Structure 1
Amino acid sequence: MNIVILTEKGFPYGSAAINRIISYAKGLSELSNNVQVICLKPSEKKGTEFKNKYPEGEFSSIKFKYITGSTVKSDILFTRALNYIKGIRLTFVYLWKIKPDVLFMGLFDPFTTFLFYAETRILKTRFVQERSEYPFLGTEKNLFTRVNYWIYIHFIIKLFDGLVVITESLKQFFTEKINKKAKITILPMLAEPDRFNIPRDTKKTNDYIAFCGELSGNKDGVPILIESFSLITQNHPSYKLVLIGNTNFKEFNKLVLLVEKLNLYEKVVFTGQVSRDEIPELLCQAKVLALARPESKQAEGGFPTKLGEYLATGNPVVVTKVGEIPNYLTHLQNAYLAEPGDASDFAEKLDDALANYDKAQLIGKNGQKLVYNEFNYKTQSVKLDIFLRSL
C-alpha cells in the first residue's frame, strides 16, 4: 500500500505523538508498504536550536517531506498564514499526483479536514485518523474549543473510513460517533525494543531514578514524583532524581521552588530537552524508572507512550494505577503499581524497588518480556496493516 501520514507537527524529532507515528510508520514500512510523512507547515522557531533541520529525507525507513520546502516558521503571523494555505494547496496537488491508498490525518481544522476528505472520495483513498486521547480536552475553558468539539463530534469524526485508537475507553467513546460504515481498532502503546538494547555501563555511577516526559502542568505528576523522592532520600542518600524533558515553560520555576523547599537542590537533575537518540541510554543506565501520573480524563482515555520505553529497558518501573495501565501490568510481577495522587504510596514502591534490587530486576525483566510479546511495534503493525487493508 501507498500510505501518507499528514501532520502539523515537526518530524522526525518531536513530541510523544511523533514517536508513536514513527513506531507504526516504521512497522508498516517494514511490511513492504510505501510510507511517507508529510508536514503541512514548518515546525521550527527562529532564534532557537532547530530539532528538525531537513525539509526532506528519510528516517528509520520512513520518507518525510515538509511540503512548503522549509522547516523554519516565519516571525510574521500573516506570512505563517499564507504558508499554511500554501501547504494545503501543495499537499492537495501532491496527493492528487501520487494517489495514496491510505491517508492518515491528524487533528486539523474542519475546513482542512473536509478538503482532504473530499479529495480522498475522488481518489478512492481510505481516510483514517489515529486518536491517542479524548478530543479537545478542556472544552469547558472557552467558547472556541466548545464549538470545535461540537463540530468534530457531530461532523468531522463521521468523515473517516477508519479510526485507530490507543485504548478500549476511546474505542467505546468513538464507536457510536463514527460513520456506520467505518471501522475502529485498538493500537495500544508501541515500543521499539531494539532502541533500548543498551548494556548497563558498570563503570559509571548509575544511582539515579529517571523520569522522561512532560514536566509542565500535572499531566505526568512530576510534583508528586519530586515529593515521593524526598521521602526516600534518607534511606537512599546516594540516589538522584533525573527529570528528562523540556524546561522552557512559564511554570518551570514552580518546580525549582519545590525542589528547593524539599532541600533536594543537589539531588534533582533537570536535563532540559533531550533528543530522541539520547533518551535510550539515559533510561537504560537508570536504576529505576518512574511515572507518577495522576487520575484525569486524559489518563483515562490515553496511554503513556513512555511506559513502553520504560519497560523495554528491562529496568524496574514504578507507575501509578491510572487508566488502562492495570489491564496490562500486574504489581510485583512486571512492574510496581502505586495509587495515583498518593506521594507516600509512590515513595513506598520506590523504596521497595531500591531496597530489594535483585527482586526488582526480575520484575523489570518480566516487564521487558511483556513489551517484546505484546507491545512490539512489529507485532502491532501487522495488525494495523490487516485493518487498513480491510477498509
Structure 2
Amino acid sequence: MKNQKHVVFLGEARFPYGLASVQRMTLMAKALLHENIKVTIICRKGSWNQGEHPDFKYEGTYEGINYIYTSKEVHKPKGFIKRNVQKIRGIYGEYQYLRNLKKNGGISMGVLSNRKLIHVFRYVFFSYLFRFPIVINLVEMASSMNHKRSLSRKINDFILDKWIVKLYDGALPISDKLKDFYHVASPLKPNLKLPIICDFDKFNISREPSEPYFLYCGSISYREVIDFILEAYKHISQEENVKLYMIVSGESKKEVARFQQEMNDMFKTEPIQLFSNIPYSQLVKLYVNASALLIPLRPTLQDSSRFPHKIGEYLASGNPVITTNIGEISVYFKDGETALVAGNYIVETFAEKMKFVVDNPEKAKKVGLVGKELGLREFDYRTHGARLKAFIENL
C-alpha cells in the first residue's frame, strides 16, 4: 500500500520460537499490524540446531508478520568455518535487504533489541546510511545484572548504558525506572513506556483436571530466586498437598533430572516437578491449570528496572499471581485484588501469600480473574498499537 508506514525489527534471532525477547518483539509487531502498519522482522543468521523446526523457511510470513533470515538459513551449521561464513553472509544480506527496502518505499522506524556493541554499531550505521530512525527496545539495565558475566560482557554493558544509549533516536522502555534512565541520558529524544504485552487470546483454553500445584517459570541461572521459592514452599509444605512445578530454560534433560532430584531430596514425597524446552502449547496448559503462579522480584536495581514478560502470560491464565512489591508491581497491582503481593522479599512473607492460596482457593481464584481483567486493559497487545503509531509519527 502506497505511503504505508513500515517498521523493521533488528538484532533478534530464533523468530518466532524464541524466548521472552522474541515473544515481545512478535507482539510489538502484531500491535503495529493492528494499526495497519507494515512490519518485517530481520534475523541475521540461523540459530536453531539441525533438525529443529525443519519445515520453517528462511523467508515468509508468520501470523501476518513478514520475516527474513538474511543468511538464507534458519539453522546453525556445523563447523567453525561454516558458522562464520553464515554470519558474514547474514550481515551482507542485512545490508542488501535494508537498501532495497529504502529504495522501494522507505523505512519508518527500526527497533533494535541486540545489546552487543559490535552489532549495535552496525545497526546504528545502517540507520545513518539508509536514513531511518532507530529506537532501542529497552527491557533491562544490563550493567546491573547480578548473574555471572565475563569481564568483556561487563565492559560491553557498561559502555552501552553509559554512552551508546545516547546514539539511538528514541527508546521503548518497559518500566518507569528505565524510562527515567533514558530521559536523563537523552532528554530531547522521544521515549515511550511500553510495558509487558501479551496475546490473551492464546490462553482462552479450558482447564483440565489436575493435582493442585504452584508454578514458577524462569531461567535456571536465577538460582537465587529458585532457592527463595524452595524455602517459601518449605514453610507451607507440611502435608505437601499442593505440588511445586518449575519450568526452567536452557538446560539439558539430564541436567534438569539431576536438578529435580536434588530439590526433591529436601522433601518427603518428592513434590517438585521440572519442565524444560517444552512446546508453547504445553506451557499455556501448565499456566492455565495452576493454582497460582510465582514470580518473586528482588529489591535490586536489576529487578526494579525490568518487568518480566511472563507476568503478562501469568495474568492471561486467569490464575492468581504471587509476587513482591518491587518496581512495576507497585505501579499496576494491588495486593488481594489484582495479585497477591508480598510487601517485601522475605521468605516468610512470600510463604504467607502461598498459604493464602492453599487455605482460600475460591478467594484466590477471584484474585486471578480480576488480575486477568487488569491484564486485558493494560497489557493486551491490541491496546498499544495506537500508542506505537503515534510514537512513530513523532520520531
- TM-score, structure 1 as length reference: 0.90
Identity of aligned residues (%): 27
Structure 1 pair 156/174, CA: closer, same or farther in 2 (3 Å)? same
Answering whether residue 216 of structure 2 is matched by residue 211 of structure 1, we say yes
TM-score when scaled to structure 2? 0.89
Tell me what 1:259 maps to: 264
- Secondary structure class of the residue paired with 2:98: helix
Q: Deviations over 1:135-159 (max 9, x none)?
A: 3444995542343235424542222
* Residue matched to 2:61: 58
Q: 1:383 is aligned with what amino acid?
A: R
Check if 1:130 corresponds to 2:137.
yes
Determine the structure 1 residue equivalent to 2:119.
Answer: 112
- In structure 2, relative to structure 1, the CA distance for the partners of 1:208 and 1:108 (3 Å cut) is closer
Equivalent of residue 182 in structure 1, options 163, 186, 189: 189
Pairs aligned (count): 384
Shift of 1:280: 1.8
Distance between the aligned counterparts of 1:264 and 1:177, measured in 2? 53
Aligned partners of 1:270 and 1:257: how far apart in 2?
11
The answer to whether the 8 A contact 2:110-2:133 is kept is yes
TM-aligned CA deviation for residue 258 of structure 1: 2.8
Structure 1 gaps of 5+ residues are none
* 1:118 aligned counterpart, secondary structure: helix
Matches within 5 A, 1:185-334: 185-201=192-208, 204-218=209-223, 221-235=225-239, 237-246=240-249, 248=251, 253-254=258-259, 256-265=261-270, 267-334=271-338
Q: 1:388 corresponds to which residue?
A: 392
- Tell me what 1:26 maps to: 30
**What corresponds to 2:83 in structure 1?**
80
Equivalent residue number for residue 160 of structure 1? 168
Inter-CA distance 175–285: structure 2 relative to 1 (3 Å threshold): same
Rate the CA distance shift 1:326–1:75 in 2: closer, same or farther, 3 A.
same
Change beyond 3 A, Cα 1:153–1:322: closer
Conserved in 2, the CA contact under 8 Å of 1:42 and 1:73?
yes
1:251, 1:242 → 2: CA distance? 16
- State the Cα distance separating 1:212 from its structure 2 match: 2.0
Unmatched tracts of structure 2, length 5 or more: none
Distance 1:212 1:31 in 2: 32
Equivalent position SS for 2:244 = strand
What amino acid does structure 1 have at the position aligned with 2:261? Answer: V
Cα deviation per residue 1:43-73 (whole Å; 9 max; x = unaligned)? 1134x74599432332222122211111211
Cα distance, 1:215 vs. partner?
Answer: 2.9
Q: Which amino acid aligns with 1:212?
A: C
Structure 2 residue 174 is the aligned partner of structure 1 residue 169: no
Give the counterpart of 1:145 among 143, 149, 153.
153
Separation of aligned partners in 2, 1:287 and 1:10: 31
- AA matched with 2:179: K
SS in 2 for 1:238: coil
State the distance in 1 between where 2:333 and 2:22 align: 25
- The DSSP-based 3-state class of the residue aligned with 1:363 is helix
Q: Deviations over 1:108-136 (max 9, x none)?
A: 44343333323323433121110100134
Are the counterparts in 2 of residues 171 and 184 from structure 1 also a CA contact under 8 Å? yes
Deviation at 1:304, TM superposition (A): 1.0
> Aligned-residue CA RMSD in angstroms?
2.4
Moved more, 30-39 or 278-287: 278-287
Structure 1 pair 353/109, CA: closer, same or farther in 2 (3 Å)? Answer: closer
1:148 aligned partner, one-letter code? N
